[in-house]
Amino acid sequence: MSESTQQESLRTGPFAGLVVIELGNSVAAPFAGQILGELGARVIKIEKSDGDDARRWGPPFWEGASPFFQALNRNKKSVVCDLRDPQQIEELKQYICEHADIVIQNLRPGHVEKLGLDATSLLARQPRLIYCNLGAFGKVGPLKDRPGYDPLMQAFGGIMSTTGEPGRPAVRVGASIVDMGTGMWGIIGILTALLERQQSGVGKVIDVSLYETATTWVSLLAAQYLSNGEVAAKQGSGASGIVPYKGYMTSDGELVIAAGSDALFKALSTTVGKPEWATDPRFIDNPRRVENQTELYGMLDAIIATQPTDYWVERLEAAGVPCAPVNNLAQMVAHPQTQALGLMQDVPGTGMRFIGLPISFDGVRPKPYAAPPKLGEHTELISKRKAT
């Protein structure tokens, strides 16, 4: 049995019969493709001759490509297709219409239409096809033809304006929350379309975008603005409208405390040796605490800084006050909770391991069954050309 056949035999899950074509690069579409692959679909990644740009996002590099690429592309097949070659494009179209259930794409605006690989063209040939566009600014509007990337959308969509410390420059959230969030919204749309196709036999076009995702992530803060006309300021580690609800420096690290109710504030006050705060008119309920947060936080900062993180975690947890140390990535990966959940998963046939999908079915988390593909490793699936 060949290695490829062995890998296919390991592919199980609710979508084991589905074929997905990923016309994607970078993060958003590859993340959506990986979710489908982890759930059993056969995902065929179409790459240009020099590959997905994410292959070169390093150093570091891990077994032939950047960790970013490897973390987003396990369980996939890689097919090299020159999208400037009409014959290769026609081969791809034919394969899609004969074999594919789903197409996901995040190529630059207008590119798939020029190639005839757009939803309208392909659904005319195969009405059962589910086609998901993961765009930048969306399908309509004055910015519809502009490209977009995660940091640009965190800026343009309002996320960065509320992230960071007051009086300091705006800060990007370190994780690619807009790219990966857009991939997740794409999957929600695809799942909805699959359910509808079971009943109608007809596919559907799904449109999601980085900009729409970014606006959704700030929708709670936007609701505050829409209610009173006041633009939310940077909150540091805190949250607009909830006090006390932020991070503190301890004598040896950082600790976040979330006392988001009157009862929790009373418990926090007692724990830090200030039970009288619970009945102080300045802090007696959340609206008063929000109004007087500078004074309250100044006093809490000074108290929390006197003891190490473990000291406060032990006492706050005993009092029922939600809190968490600010773990770095090494601490998160090594934590017993991470291990107990089985989040760290080995990739068969490699020395790589990644964080798995944040979902389990009947207590079982989907597992990777194949390594991220080498560039062009599976080109012969679609074309008679040899892999390069």
Q: Quick one: pLDDT at residue 387?
A: 46
Q: Residue 386 contacts by C-beta under 8 Å, 6 or more apart in sequence?
A: 379, 380
Q: In what order do the strands lie in the sheet containing 204-209?
A: 76-80, 42-47, 19-23, 102-105, 130-135, 204-209
- CATH 3.30.1540.10 location in the chain: 245-249+254-325
pLDDT, one tens digit per residue, over 166-195 is 999 999 999 999 999 999 999 999 999 999
Structure tokens at 214: 């970014």
CA 243 – CA 288 distance, rounded (Å): 9
CA 90 – CA 351 distance, rounded (Å): 38
pTM, two decimals, is 0.91
Q: Quick one: pLDDT at residue 7?
A: 57
Structure tokens at 89: 């494009």
Please say whether the beta carbons of 29 and 37 come within 8 A.
no
Structure tokens at 35: 């979710």
Q: Quick one: pLDDT at residue 5?
A: 52
pLDDT, one tens digit per residue, over 297-348 is 999 999 999 999 999 999 999 999 999 999 999 999 999 999 999 999 999 9
Share of the chain above pLDDT 70, in %: 96
- CATH 3.40.50.10540 location in the chain: 3-217+343-381
Please say whether the beta carbons of 216 and 274 come within 8 A.
no
Task: Give CATH superfamily name and number for 245-249+254-325.
Answer: formyl-coa transferase, domain 3 (3.30.1540.10)
Closest CA to 66 of 75, 76, 79, 57: 57
Low-confidence ranges of the chain (pLDDT < 50): 1-3, 387-388
Closest CA to 19 of 56, 49, 38, 44: 44
Q: Quick one: pLDDT at residue 240?
A: 85
Please say whether the beta carbons of 373 and 76 come within 8 A.
yes
CA 133 – CA 36 distance, rounded (Å): 15
Amino acid at 370: A
Beta-strand relationship, 353-355 and 344-346: antiparallel
CA 152 – CA 84 distance, rounded (Å): 29
Structure tokens at 344: 């760290």
3-state secondary structure the chain: CCHHHHHHHHCCCCCCCCEEEEECCCCHHHHHHHHHHHCCCEEEEEECCCCCHHHHCCCCCECCECHHHHHHCCCEEEEECCCCCHHHHHHHHHHHHHHCCEEEECCCCCHHHHHCCCHHHHHHHCCCCEEEEEECCCCCCCCCCCCCCHHHHHHHCCCHHHCCCCCCCCCCCCCCHHHHHHHHHHHHHHHHHHHHHHHHCCCEEEEEEHHHHHHHHCHHHHHHHHHHCCCCCCCCCCECCECCEEEEECCCCEEEEECCCHHHHHHHHHHCCCHHHHHCCCCCCHHHHHHCHHHHHHHHHHHHCCCCHHHHHHHHHHCCCCEEECCCHHHHHHCHHHHHCCCEEECCCCCCEEECCCCCECCECCCCCCCCCCCCCCHHHCCCCCCC
Q: Quick one: pLDDT at residue 12?
A: 76
> For the domain 3-217+343-381, what is the CATH code?
3.40.50.10540
By annotation, the residues acting in catalysis are 179
